[in-house]
Amino acid sequence: MPDMARARAHAFVLTDSRPLRFTTLLLFYLTQGFPIGLFFFALPAWMAANGVGTGAIASVVGAAALPWTLKIANGFLIDRYTFLPMGRRRVWIIGAQGTLVMTLIAGAALSPAAHNVVQIAALGFLANLAVTFQDVGIDSLAIDIMPEEERARAGGIMAGAQFVGASLTTATGGWLLARFGIATCLLVLAVIPALVMLFATVIREREGEKRLPWSPGRSHPHNDTLVVEAWWPLLRSATRAVLAPVSLLLLPILLIRVIPEGGFEAFHPVLYQQYAGWTPTQYTGFISALTLASGLCGILAGGWLVGRIGPQRAVALALAIGMLSTAAMGANSSAWSDERVLMAFQIAMETTRLIYFIAVLTLAMRVCNPAVAATQFTIYMGISNFGRPIGAALAANTSGAGNAPLLYFSIAAIWGMGLLLVLLVRYPGEERHEQYGAERLPHGEGPAPEYD
């Protein structure tokens, strides 16, 4: 009996099981891809097929992207308020996942028409708001419980699983929208997030914690020492860490990562259907297959590859590929009716997106000060996600105004400036971060950037 009690105490405890830690990241990042695939790909394609213009589609993409820019506030809330008997992060994760499920069910009940931009935009905002809280909770949990040697692999899983989730939702959502309409689509897509929410009620962060508020258990002594009881120390430490010189020079690299995605998500449904003659199902099927392949590569080999190349060189490689590809696309608008050109460009962009995402996650983790790592990492990711609505606005003011090539030239110029910065600045390596940079960041100083 004592052995059985001991086994139950250690069952589904994240700090006791490496496979469980990776599985948890995989499942929650998978469901993060659901609102991305739905509101950035499947629904825009469905709206375009029903005659909705680029400006209106950009409004939906922008509304869905907006919560990702608010993650800065989410991190402070999750660090400041929690229910320690259930762990530092899990109560937020469960609540956010439940909100996502309820938003999809509410959307099914409303069943908005394709031209009802306000309702679709509102649903996109609420679903992505829920997922951003889940995302911050999972990111913070990973920083809390992941040893350093697991983080590169974790970055690959995080990027890959989100891509796979977006891919599955893009394909499934596009097919369901075409065959059965929006109500059935949203109800079906609520099933897997609901199951993952139930999974979150079974796991525990550390031994002895409650699974649910009414379950037996207590807060872990490790978490009792980390509780933040006032706003000012948290705000002061996080601000000093983010304003360190090396941190400030990372911010532009984070910001420009998602600008192309916001622009292409708004314009590409129109590009593929009006220029190349594709149907919405063909477009979502292609995007889904490409994202799925990219996600699987990220899960299986992405972290290893970026580790071999080095995250800074990997970011430079991604920026170079992206800059050259977008400039070539803008210069060859006469070839946009050739589906081979469009497919080759999309493959180049997906390769860029995967490498960039995994590499910049690793760079951000290295720059983080361990004392406020969860909040600081969330600030970085929140700043990164400002790029998506910027990209959507760029699409509305270029392609939406009748000058589609300018969208690609603008993105190429932005990425060219990012490439120049990455080539000039040397960001911390793993050993330097652990032994030197992290010790200095709490005082707001940090290592000065090195220039080649």
pLDDT band at 325 (very low <50, low <70, confident <90, very high): very high
Would you state the structure tokens that stand for residue 348, as one six-digit string?
A: 């180049």
**Percentage with pLDDT > 70 across the chain:** 87
SS3 426: strand
Residues in the chain, overall count: 452
Residue-wise pLDDT tens digits, 231-276: 677 778 778 888 888 889 999 999 998 899 888 888 888 888 888 8
Q: Is pLDDT of 40 > 70? A: yes
The b/e string for 216-235 (b: 16+ C-beta within 10 A; e otherwise) is ebebbeebeeeebeeeeebe
Residue-wise pLDDT tens digits, 268-310: 888 888 888 888 778 877 887 887 888 888 888 887 888 788 8
In what helix (H) or strand (E) does residue 434 lie, and over which residues does it extend?
none
Q: Give me the phi and psi of 425, to 5 degrees please.
A: -100, 140
Would you state the structure tokens that stand for residue 2, as one six-digit string?
A: 């004592």
pTM assigned to the model: 0.72
CATH level 2 (architecture), domain 2-442: Up-down Bundle (1.20)
Q: Which of 282, 302, 98 is nearest to 190 (CA)?
A: 98
Kindly compute the dihedral angle of the four CA atoms of residues 16, 22, 23, 25, in this order, to the nearest 10 degrees. 120
pLDDT band at 183 (very low <50, low <70, confident <90, very high): very high
Would you state the structure tokens that stand for residue 203, as one six-digit string?
A: 């796991």
In what helix (H) or strand (E) does residue 425 lie, and over which residues does it extend?
strand 425-426
Q: Is pLDDT of 1 > 50? A: no
Domain-wise residue ranges, the chain: 2-442
Separation between Cα atoms, residue 404 and residue 50, nearest integer Å: 21
| Exposed/middle/buried for residue 181 (C-beta within 10 Å: 0-12, 13-18, 19+) | middle
The b/e string for 12-27 (b: 16+ C-beta within 10 A; e otherwise) is ebbbeeeebbbebbbb
pLDDT of residue 155: 77
Q: Is pLDDT of 220 > 90? A: no
Residue-wise pLDDT tens digits, 89-108: 888 899 999 999 999 999 99
Kindly compute the dihedral angle of the four CA atoms of residues 215, 219, 220, 221, in this order, to the nearest 10 degrees. -150
Q: Is pLDDT of 80 > 80? A: no
CA separation, residue 190 to residues 34, 47, 229, 298 (Å): 9, 21, 36, 25
Q: Which of 264, 274, 239, 187 is nearest to 375 (CA)?
A: 239
